Amino acid sequence: AQSVAQPEDQVNVAEGNPLTVKCTYSVSGNPYLFWYVQYPNRGLQFLLKYITGDNLVKGSYGFEAEFNKSQTSFHLKKPSALVSDSALYFCAVREGGADSWGKLQFGAGTQVVVTP
Phi-psi bin for 94: left (phi > 0), alpha (psi -120 to 50), beta?
beta
Among 42, 60, 68, 84, binds other proteins (CB under 8 A): 42
For other proteins, which is the closer residue by CB, 63 or 90?
A: 90
Q: Give the helix, strand, coil percentages of the chain, each rounded to 5.
A: 5, 50, 45
Q: Shortest approach of other proteins to residue 44 CB, angstroms?
A: 4
Strand duo 31-38 + 24-26: pairing: unpaired
70 interacts with other proteins by CB under 8 A: no
Q: Least distance to other proteins from the beta carbon of 76, Å?
A: 15
Asked if residue 22 binds other proteins (CB under 8 A), the reply is no
Give the Cβ contact number of residue 95 at 10 Å: 19
Cα–Cα distances (Å) from 82 to 30, 34, 93, 99, in that order, read 33, 21, 26, 40
Instruction: Write down the least CB distance from residue 115 to other proteins, Å.
Output: 22
Positions that interact with other proteins (CB under 8 A) = 9, 32, 34, 36, 41-46, 49, 51-52, 90, 92, 94, 96-104, 106-109
